[in-house]
Amino acid sequence: MRWKGGRSGGGTEDRRGLGAGAVAGGGGIVGIIAVLAYVFLGVDPNTTQSVAGLFIGQGAQERGTMGTPADDAGRFVDVVGANVNDVWAQAMRGYTPPKVVLYDTGTGTGCGYGQAAMGPFYCPTDQTVYLDLSFWQTMSEQLGASDADFAKAYVIAHEFGHHVQTLSGASQKVQRAQQSLGKEEGNRYSVALELQADCYAGVWAANAAKVSGGNVAMEPGDLEAGLTTAKAIGDDTLQKRQGGRVTPENFTHGSSVERMRWLKSGYTSGDPTTCDGPFQDL
């Protein structure tokens, strides 16, 4: 993936190095084992019932450094985020960018105490994407995802997709619907949200080069890297990896096949209106 000549966003908040100790009033740390059961890519605290309990307390409002991080890994997030924003600014009327926070170990969020073991997530309350960059290593070394830059960008774009859902009201609609649904059916709504976010990530990928004059662009092999990653983080694959039975009723993100399907679908159409499909399938 080409990205180094891309526009910097400059609005990334870097809390790396502050450590979990910087968080006041976090209310304790949840065991990693419990967390792994939900794994990765968009734990969405307000829309995914099963993970709501992972966020404890109010979270402190500690402040990191604002701007464009100087290191490559941090700058990558800043540039990709700016590019995703540029795509959405064209695709959605009234779009406003989310905040982006880089952290390690744990940090206070508008949704409570967030920790690295949960993977990247979006908190709708403070409209912020939280990223612990050590997740990239977990993703490729432990989950069997690709280590290509595009695989990381897909994850970032997926989280921005949840921001779009908050702006569009889709997240709130699901949350309301889930209040009157049983767990199993509620999970199907969560899955639809996740698949729509995957589709939105595909829409971003399709338009990245166009909005950046080619400075942020996919290269040969990138789509495959994204699909490998989508496959690795499908619920059935994760459940098998954890040594458990595959139980579709507990899916909250969608199966590997579904995730690949919707990422590809968004990429092929380049049009966010085609991403309502997962809800039509309900």
Q: Footprint of Zn ion on this chain (CB under 5 A)?
A: 42, 194, 197
Nearest approach, Cβ of 42 to Zn ion (angstroms)?
2
Question: In angstroms, rounded to a whole number, what is the distance separating the alpha carbons of residues 259 and 248?
Answer: 14
Question: Of 22 and 197, which has the nearer Cβ to Zn ion?
Answer: 197
Question: Of 75 and 231, which has the nearer Cβ to Zn ion?
Answer: 231
Question: In angstroms, rounded to a whole number, what is the distance separating the alpha carbons of residues 124 and 276?
Answer: 20
Question: Of 15 and 259, which has the nearer Cβ to Zn ion?
Answer: 259
- Alpha carbon distances (Å) from 262 to 38, 78, 190, 202, 249: 20, 25, 15, 8, 20
Nearest approach, Cβ of 155 to Zn ion (angstroms)?
9
Task: Please state, as a whole number, how many other Cβ atoms lie within 10 Å of the Cβ of residue 167.
Answer: 18
Question: Of 43 and 216, which has the nearer Cβ to Zn ion?
Answer: 43
Nearest approach, Cβ of 276 to Zn ion (angstroms)?
16
Q: Where are the alpha helices (DSSP H) in the chain?
A: 32-36, 72-91, 135-137, 149-168, 170-179, 183-211, 222-232, 235-241, 256-269, 277-280
Question: Of 42 and 272, which has the nearer Cβ to Zn ion?
Answer: 42
Contact 264, 198 (CB under 8 A): no
Nearest approach, Cβ of 68 to Zn ion (angstroms)?
25
Question: In angstroms, rounded to a whole number, what is the distance separating the alpha carbons of residues 109 and 106?
Answer: 9
- In the bound state, the residue with its beta carbon closest to Zn ion is 42
Nearest approach, Cβ of 24 to Zn ion (angstroms)?
28
